[in-house]
Structure 1
Amino acid sequence: MKLIINADDCGKNKEVNAAISHFIETGKITSTTVMANMDDLEGASRLFDEYQDSISFGIHLNLTEGHPLRYSQELLDRGYYKETANVAGEKGNIYLNINQLRNKIISTSIQKELEKELCAQIEKVLDYGIRISHIDSHHHIHTSLLMLRMMPKLAKRYGIHKMRRMRNYVPSASWTNMALRDLWKQLIKLQNHRIVMTDYFGIYEEWYDNGKQILHENTVLELMCHPGGAYSEEECKLLETDFTQLANVELVNYNMIG
């Protein structure tokens, strides 16, 4: 079995970046994905410069946290930004608030505004010199109904041919739930046949708690983790795992598949 362990949220802040660096050095992750609109993209760029030959660096598209890179009056007017007030009651900072739209059908004009934001995020990561290996997203927004038509188009526009699939390593899920998750993959690939995904994607803790299940030898499994975030138990389990002792497991990254 080929195994990708991806650290989400690279670039979120200095603490997350430091934790990701530690996990790379200790051989616990093989990939990470970068947020363009958070506090330490410069730190993420330095990690790329240092570790680009060791792990893959994708983009962690983000419509649910942090500041937009591209201001949209239409999104503000429709309540799709959160706007804080300062102590004087005046308008203050603007934050992304798109999660409310994730499974809704929206107007063409709103789709265009969201697409401009995502293009700005991809282009900012590229401007920092980071070669993007694959696409995933914060809070899995790229797998939502909202993004179903947008994601294949963005991948084609920027020549990114690998994408995180909808989570389908879910030991407790029903077959109907799994069928719907597989349907999403088929609909994405129907629009852009060049997109490559892993066979399975899940959460590191679930894989650990299910006895580090080894799937078929030709299977590619991606597991996500969150070093430096509010996932201390997950980090402990990851640090406890000695991958050299797992028979029939080959650690790979997104640059090595497809």
Structure 2
Amino acid sequence: MLQLQQLGYRSDDRLLIINADDFGLTQGTNEAIIHLLEKRAATSTSLMMPCPSSSDAISRSILHGHHQVGIHLTLTSDAKQSYAPVHREKPLHSLTQPDGTFHTNCTQLERHAELDDVRVELEAQIVEALAKGIEITHLDSHAGSVLGLHTGRDFLEIVFELCVKYQLPFNLPRRIVEQPFFSAQQLRLFRTRLLAAQERGILTIDDMIALPYCFQPEADYRRMKLQLVEMIRMVKPGITQLTVHPSLATDSLRTVTDCSKEREFEHQLMQDDDVRQLLRSEGIKLTAWRDIRDLQRSL
């Protein structure tokens, strides 16, 4: 289990990873994330290898010297944008629809995916990122597609095999077992998997926070800022990830999501002087998945 003292902090320190998810979604998303990394308004990012703009994301990362990036393991398409497997040597029929793209429904994935197909595709996403010059910092999961959230059939044992093989931490917060909205069966599964990760030497973090992804009826910057401020104030000792989905508001973004305004606002919020001052006044220290990966590889 990761202890703060192993990273050089006190046991009561509050550390925050600001992770920009969905790197590779659109070129406007890539531009926004690189901008935040340059300003250290984000400290990590997670790359979706099956996305059409993933190559653009990798090119920007290497150009700007931010080639240490996590992999946002992707096994499902989004509602308004389809993705196909990175692995192309053979069809992965259990993961895809007749047109060769991933299911949009996690339930379909959990019910029909063959474990060998899952293993092949997830490793292909890792291998291709490495081949293109990415120094991977961690693994996490797009839409929770490996967590078994819908039917209870998860793919975490496969993910843990890859974490061991490539010496990577995984984003499964330990305080997930304190969440009241999971069933007793799901909580038992998470406890079992967290213990399995610990036994294999895979480092995990303590907690994860995020703004609601889609506000109804409409996103409002002031309301989002108030919610973010409250979440930051409530951060507990340990390592917490603040998950954000920043992007520039482009026509491309609007074609792939109905929540483009939230992504635009999150890009702005991470640069908001009040938010950055709050992090300082709360004594919250910023860290990155790279630091956790390097610790895991040193143990």
Query: TM-score, normalising length from structure 2?
Result: 0.68
**Corresponding position of 1:251:** 286
Runs (5+) with no aligned partner, structure 2: 1-13, 78-82, 213-223, 248-252, 254-259
Aligned to 1:227, which of 246, 269, 276? 246
The answer to whether the 8 A contact 1:82-1:96 is kept is: yes
The answer to whether the 8 A contact 1:165-1:185 is kept is: no
SS across alignment from 2:72: strand
**Corresponding position of 1:155:** 163
Q: Equivalent residues in 2 for 1:41-120 (5 A)?
A: 41-50=54-63, 52=65, 56-65=68-77, 66-71=83-88, 72-73=90-91, 75=93, 80-84=95-99, 94-97=100-103, 99-104=106-111, 110-120=114-124
What letter matches 1:16 in structure 2?
T
The answer to whether residue 161 in structure 2 is matched with residue 146 in structure 1 is no
CA deviation after TM superposition for structure 1 residue 168, in Å: 4.6
Runs (5+) with no aligned partner, structure 1: 85-93
| Distance in 2, Cα, partners of 1:164 & 1:234 | 21
**Corresponding position of 2:269:** 237
| Distance in 2, Cα, partners of 1:132 & 1:212 | 27
What letter matches 2:266 in structure 1?
E
What letter matches 2:128 in structure 1?
K
The answer to whether the 8 A contact 2:76-2:109 is kept is: no
CA deviation after TM superposition for structure 1 residue 153, in Å: 1.1
| Distance in 2, Cα, partners of 1:199 & 1:83 | 40
CA deviation after TM superposition for structure 1 residue 43, in Å: 2.5
| Distance in 2, Cα, partners of 1:184 & 1:170 | 7
**Corresponding position of 2:41:** 28
> Size of the alignment, in residue pairs?
239
**Corresponding position of 1:88:** none
Coordinate RMSD, CA, aligned: 3.1
| Distance in 1, Cα, partners of 2:28 & 2:174 | 27
Change (3 A) 1:167 1:224: farther
| Distance in 2, Cα, partners of 1:238 & 1:181 | 32
Aligned to 1:190, which of 173, 187, 196? 196
| Distance in 1, Cα, partners of 2:282 & 2:54 | 37
Change (3 A) 1:117 1:149: same
CA deviation after TM superposition for structure 1 residue 82, in Å: 2.8
